[in-house]
Amino acid sequence: MSVDTVGTRTDFPAEPPEHPTAPYLRMERIPHVWCPGCGIGTVVQCFATALERSGVDLDKASVVSGIGCSGRAAGYLKLDGFHATHGRAIPFATGLKLGRPELLVTVFSGDGDLSGIGGNHFIHAARRNMDLLVILINNFIYGMTGGQNAPTTPLTAKSSTMPFGNFEPPFNLPHLAASCGAPYVARWTCLHIRRLTWTLEEAIQRKGFRLVEVVAPCPPLYSRLNKLGTGLDGMSFYHDNAVIKHGADTRDLGIDFQESIVCGKFVDEEKPTFSELMDTHYDRVLGDKYVPMAPEGGWLHE
Partner 1 sequence: MRPDPAGVLTGAHYLDGDFACGEGAMAAGCRFVAGYPITPSTEVVERISRRFPAMGGTFIQMEDELASMAAVVGAAWTGTKAMTVTSGPGFSLMMENIGLAAMMETPCVVVNVQRGGPSTGLPTMVGQGDVMQARWGSHGDYEVIALTPQSPQEAFDLTIDAFNLSERFRVPVMFMMDECVGHMTERVVIPEPEEIDVVPRVLTDKSPQEFEPYSVNGTEIPEFARAGDGYRFHTTGLTHDERGYPVMSVDCQETCVSRLLDKINDNADEIVRFEEEGIEDAEVVVVTYGITARVARLAIDLARAEGVKVGLLRLIVIWPFAERRIRDLARSVGAMVVPEINYGQLVLEVERCAGGRCPVVSVTHGGGGVHDPAVIAKKIIEAGASRT
Tell the smallest beta-carbon distance from residue 251 to ligand TPP (Å): 24
Beta bridge partners of 261: 242
Nearer to ligand TPP, 144 or 263 (CB): 144
Q: Binding marks (x or -) toward partner 1, 200..229, rule CB under 8 A?
A: ------------------------------
Q: Of residues 55-94, which lie at the interface with partner 1 (CB under 8 A)?
A: 58-60, 62, 64, 74-75, 78-85, 87-88, 90-94
Sole window of 117-125, 138-146, 163-171, 259-267 interacting with ligand SF4 (rule: CB under 6 A) = 138-146
Rounded CA-CA distance 31/25 in Å is: 11
Mode of pairing for the β-strands spanning 184-189 and 242-244: unpaired
CB 266 within 8 A of CB 186: yes
Q: Of residues 103-132, which lie at the interface with Mg ion (CB under 5 A)?
A: 110-112
Return the SS3 of 35: coil
* Contacts for 242 with CB less than 8 Å, ≥ 6 apart: 188, 189, 192, 260, 261, 262, 263
Q: Which does 145 bind (CB under 5 to 8 A by kind): ligand TPP, Mg ion, partner 1, none?
A: ligand TPP
CB atoms within 10 A of CB 5: 8
Rounded CA-CA distance 66/115 in Å is: 11
Cα separations in angstroms, 177 against 40, 139, 195, 206? 21, 18, 21, 16
Q: Does 270 bind partner 1 (CB under 8 A)?
A: no
Cα separations in angstroms, 12 against 3, 18, 81, 268, 272? 17, 14, 36, 48, 54
Tell the smallest beta-carbon distance from residue 68 to Mg ion (Å): 6
Q: Which does 112 bind (CB under 5 to 8 A by kind): partner 1, ligand SF4, ligand TPP, none?
A: ligand TPP
Residues that bind ligand TPP (CB under 6 A): 67-70, 86, 109-113, 137, 139, 141-145, 150
Q: Work out the angle between the directed axes of helices 119-128 and 89-99 (0-180°, nearest 10).
A: 30
Q: Does 102 bind partner 1 (CB under 8 A)?
A: yes
CB atoms within 10 A of CB 161: 15
Candidate list 21, 42, 65, 139; residue touching Mg ion; CB under 5 A: 139
Nearer to Mg ion, 143 or 170 (CB): 143
Q: How many residues bind ligand SF4 (CB under 6 A)?
A: 12
Which residues in this chain contact partner 1 in the complex, by CB under 8 A?
26, 29, 58-60, 62, 64, 74-75, 78-85, 87-88, 90-100, 102-103, 120-121, 124, 278, 282, 286, 289-294, 297-302
Kindly list the residues in this chain that would bind ligand SF4 in the complex (CB under 6 A). 34-35, 38, 40, 69, 139, 143-144, 218-221
